[in-house]
Amino acid sequence: MLLIDCPHCGPRAEIEFRCGGEAHIARPASPEETSDAAWRDYLYLRRSPKGLHLERWNHIHGCQRWFNVARDTVSDEILAVYPMGSPPPDLGRT
């Protein structure tokens, strides 16, 4: 089980949180002009990388606020926690 450092409440057990999946996926700006392929990319294509993953979490059984996490998907180590809307921190790796 992960120990997640909520920016508002501090370190809490993973069971208090809900993972919201890959972060930094922008909804197409003008839906009417968006092609089927672009909708597919937005809705369904995911990186699922072996290594650094940027993802959203919600402290659903706590403050209920969203934030971003950078995590290594091989070791599961959490490398950084950063606010929604911010670009990912420079971790010196991809």
| Least separation in angstroms between CB 89 and other proteins | 19
Contact between 13 and Zn ion per CB under 5 A: no
Contact between 94 and other proteins per CB under 8 A: no
Cβ atoms of residues 67 and 7 within 8 Å? yes
| Least separation in angstroms between CB 15 and Zn ion | 13
Residues near 44 by beta carbon (within 8 Å), at least 6 away in sequence: none
CA distance 68 to 58: 9
Size of the site for Zn ion (CB under 5 A): 6
Contact between 63 and Zn ion per CB under 5 A: yes
